[in-house]
Structure formats: structure tokens, C-alpha cells
């Protein structure tokens, strides 16, 4: 495979968002929730996901703003774990502080990103809140330094899987859609977003594909050495 441009997703593709989230929730549990019962971190993270996912979907579809997501996910989490009188604003702020402290690359991802960048023009494309993603790019400057295009979808005005943001990213890359490969972990946002506009997709299935699959010019991988082998 020899694409002319390779885009990488950030969260749960290059950076381990799930691990940082889990550790930040554990910090929240220790500081704010210990007196409200013995909720395990697994229960807390599952509850948080169940609350956050539909809020994020409404945000992506333009039904609510990001401030609503940021506030309501913790208001609802505190209510769900029996701590409705805790200050959701303080909890949300503390969570974001701790979340940032736990950012790390997924093992093998940085090395692959750098290796691919030596042979192909690369870029990053992400759905996360703009101010948070900017901080990640500041924390890991290699992502900006090696990237010929940085697309933060919120700044474009629409989120993956909307074709508009993929078309914008294609223009930023300066190549034809069929010459772009996107490396990402989300089936809905990355695979189902990229393939209809003609991009190839390398779907990172770290925890298994759950019966879903790519089609056409797509493939899945679970080990970063495998991706290097395909591209280099």
C-alpha cells in the first residue's frame, strides 16, 4: 500500500484516551466519591460512558453545545452514583485536570507515526473538543512537527463522520481522496466516515472488531508493527 497522504486519529489511536479517562475517574472517585459508596472504577467508567455517549452524539449532531456536555455528564454521573449534592462544576474541572496528567501514547503508536512520517506526508484529524486537542498537540509536539495538516473537526464546524470534514481534510492534504489513508479506531466516526468519501482506512481494532469489518480499500489491524509492515 502506498498512499500519498496518511491521516491519524488522535484519541484511542495515537493517544490512550481510555486509559487517561479511567485514571482520571479513579482520581475523582478517590477525592469526591469515596463517602458515597463502594463503586468500583469499572462501574464508574461504565456509568460515565453510558451518560457521556448520548450527550456526545447530540453534540455531534448540533442539538446541544459542548458546555452542556461538559456539565451534564458530571451532573448525571454524580446523581447516578448517589452523590447529587456534590459540586458538578468542581468535579468536572478536577477531572479535566487529572485527565490531562494521564495522557500517554498507546504503546507502539508514536514509533509508527514517526516511521510513517519518514516515508509519507502525514497529518492528524480529531473530533475532540478543540481546546483539549490543542493542549494534546502542545504536550506532544511531535504530532504538529511531523504533520503537514492538522484538522481539529470542531474548528472546521462539523464532526466526523460528516463528509464535509473529510472533504476539508482532503483539501488540506492537497491530494485526491483515493490517495488518502486514515488510521483510526472508531468504526462510526473513522471507518464509516472515511470510506464513503473515497479514503482508504486502516482501522485500529485494539480490543477486537465486534463482528464489524471494513470494505473496499480498508483493512483492520491490532498491532502497530502490522501497520508499519503494510505501509513501509
Assigned C-alpha cell, 218: 480498508
Confidence of residue 187 (pLDDT cuts 50, 70, 90): very high
Asked if residues 84 and 32 have their Cβ atoms less than 8 Å apart, the reply is no
Q: Which of 53, 83, 101 delimits the end of a domain?
A: 101
Q: Which of 101, 129, 150 delimits the end of a domain?
A: 101
Task: Give the C-alpha separation, 44 to 37, whole Å.
Answer: 11
> Are residues 64 and 141 both part of a single domain?
no
> Are residues 111 and 220 both part of a single domain?
yes
Task: Give the C-alpha separation, 54 to 65, whole Å.
Answer: 13
> Are residues 96 and 119 both part of a single domain?
no
Provide the residue range defining the domain that includes 195: 5-16+104-231
> Are residues 9 and 31 both part of a single domain?
no
Find the CATH number of the domain harbouring 214: 3.40.50.1000
Task: Give the C-alpha separation, 215 to 201, whole Å.
Answer: 9
Provide the whole-model pTM: 0.93
- DSSP 8-state code for residue 51: H
> Are residues 71 and 114 both part of a single domain?
no
> Are residues 115 and 24 both part of a single domain?
no
Task: Give the C-alpha separation, 199 to 179, whole Å.
Answer: 7
For the chain, report the end-to-end CA distance as a whole number of angstroms. Answer: 8
Q: How many CB atoms lie within 10 A of CB 127?
A: 25
Find the CATH number of the domain harbouring 54: 1.10.150.240
What would the pLDDT profile of 122-168 be if each residue is shown by its tens digit?
A: 999 999 899 999 999 999 999 999 999 999 999 999 999 999 999 99
How many domains is the chain partitioned into structurally?
2
Q: Is the pLDDT of residue 61 over 90?
A: no
> Are residues 24 and 96 both part of a single domain?
yes
> Are residues 125 and 196 both part of a single domain?
yes
Q: Which of 63, 79, 101 delimits the end of a domain?
A: 101
How deeply is 104 buried, as exposed, middle or buried, from its count of CB atoms within 10 A (0-12, 13-18, 19+)? middle
Looking at the DSSP assignment, which residues form a beta bridge with residue 147? 122
Amino acid at each position: 500500500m502506498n498512499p500519498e497522504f496518511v491521516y491519524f486519529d488522535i484519541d484511542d489511536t495515537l493517544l490512550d484516551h481510555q486509559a487517561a479517562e479511567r485514571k482520571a475517574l479513579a482520581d475523582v472517585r478517590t477525592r469526591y466519591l469515596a463517602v458515597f459508596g463502594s463503586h468500583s472504577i469499572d462501574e464508574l467508567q461504565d456509568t460515565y460512558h453510558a451518560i457521556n455517549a448520548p450527550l456526545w452524539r447530540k453534540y455531534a449532531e448540533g442539538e446541544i453545545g459542548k458546555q452542556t456536555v461538559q456539565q451534564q455528564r458530571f451532573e448525571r454521573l454524580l446523581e447516578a452514583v448517589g452523590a447529587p449534592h456534590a459540586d458538578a462544576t468542581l468535579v468536572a474541572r478536577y477531572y479535566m485536570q487529572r485527565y490531562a496528567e494521564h495522557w500517554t501514547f498507546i504503546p507502539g503508536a508514536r514509533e509508527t507515526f514517526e516511521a510513517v512520517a519518514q516515508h509519507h506526508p502525514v497529518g492528524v484529524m480529531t473530533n475532540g473538543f478543540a481546546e483539549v486537542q490543542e493542549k494534546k498537540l502542545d504536550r506532544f509536539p511531535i504530532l504538529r512537527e511531523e504533520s503537514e495538516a492538522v484538522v481539529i473537526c470542531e474548528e472546521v464546524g462539523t464532526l466526523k463522520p460528516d463528509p464535509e470534514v473529510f472533504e476539508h481534510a482532503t483539501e488540506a492534504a492537497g491530494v485526491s481522496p483515493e490517495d488518502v489513508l486514515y488510521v483510526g479506531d472508531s468504526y462510526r466516526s473513522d471507518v464509516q466516515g472515511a470510506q464513503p468519501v473515497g479514503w482508504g482506512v486502516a482501522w485500529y481494532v485494539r480490543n477486537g472488531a465486534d463482528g464489524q469489518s471494513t470494505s473496499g480499500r480498508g483493512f483492520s489491524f491490532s498491532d502497530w508493527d502490522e501497520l508499519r509492515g503494510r505501509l513501509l
